Amino acid sequence: MRDQLSRLVYSTEQGRIEEPKPEETAPETDGIVRIRRETKGRKGKGVTVIEGLGLTSGELKPIAKALKARCSVGGTVKDFNIEIQGDQRDNCMQYLQQQGYKVKLSGG
């Protein structure tokens, strides 16, 4: 029992000792990327949410960076989705289709 409770977190020789982070796995998808506009919980401000890419967060970051540069807005990667500020559905759809993804607009 004592071995389970004691864990080395700092050593004067090595400094802070980090635990290895578990590998994240991308969620399963049906092969269709869905783009929707969302305002819920954002005080009326709209964002474009891109979901269904089937990539890990690390793999989504370069795509998000390219989309933010193309649309000249901010954004983030959250919960295996890309969020781009404002209504950028058309720009995002064109870019992702050029990259070879099958894209559908969803929502209203």
User: Which of 19-23, 29-33, 55-59, 61-65: highest mean pLDDT?
Assistant: 61-65
- Mean pLDDT over each residue of the chain, to the nearest integer: 88
pLDDT of residue 84: 96
pLDDT of residue 40: 86
pLDDT higher than threshold 80 for residue 3? no
Q: Where are the domains of the chain?
A: 22-105
Tell me whether residue 84 is exposed, middle or buried, using C-beta atoms within 10 angstroms of its C-beta: 0 to 12, 13 to 18, 19 or more.
Answer: buried
pLDDT band at 29 (very low <50, low <70, confident <90, very high): confident
Pick the CATH number of 22-105 from 3.40.630.10, 3.40.50.1370, 3.40.50.1860, 3.30.780.10: 3.30.780.10
Work out the number of other CB atoms within 10 angstroms of the CB of residue 34.
17
The model's pTM is 0.77
* DSSP secondary structure string for all residues of 25-62: -PPP--SEEEEEEE-TTTTT--EEEEE-----HHHHHH
Q: What is the pLDDT of residues 52-82, one digit of tens each?
A: 999 998 999 999 999 999 999 999 999 999 9
